[in-house]
Amino acid sequence: MFVKRFADAKPYEAANHRGVVGLRLQGFEAGGPANQWVGLSQFLPGGGAGPDSTPFEKVYVVIDGAMTVLAGGVETELGPLDSCTIAPGEVRELVNRTNRVCTMLVVIPYPPGHKP
């Protein structure tokens, strides 16, 4: 078992994101997961990401607050414990349209060629 305390999570910057603080909960470290990494994103009101896409799928889980996800011409608001999967190559945009911080878990596979 590999345990990492929240107090030890390190911030990271994600390309094409705005008004967000990301913390890496698991991944990119010896003893951690072999296939994916897990982040905790805290989006300020008006914060968001994209529009853009990646060559691998992503899973988003809203922990607190609300996040609007635009993908495939569809706009969906996710609330606490709602989740979605974004397919490889799918263009998505995230927008926090509320006056509260949105806290969201993000699960993403390692990039091709990564060796933990």
Please give the mean pLDDT across all residues of the chain.
96
Indicate if the pLDDT at residue 116 is higher than 70: no
Question: In sequence order, what DSSP letters do the residues of 82-115 get, joined into one string?
Answer: -EEEEPTT--EEEE--SSS-EEEEEEEEPPTT--
**What distance in Å separates the CA atoms of residue 67 and residue 97, rounded to the nearest whole number?**
7
**What distance in Å separates the CA atoms of residue 22 and residue 14, rounded to the nearest whole number?**
8
Look up the pTM and report it. 0.93
Q: What is the mean predicted confidence (pLDDT) over 12-17?
A: 94
Tokens standing for 45?
Answer: 């009101």
Interior/surface letters 42-57, b for 16+ CB within 10 angstroms, e for the rest:
bbeeebbbbeeebeee
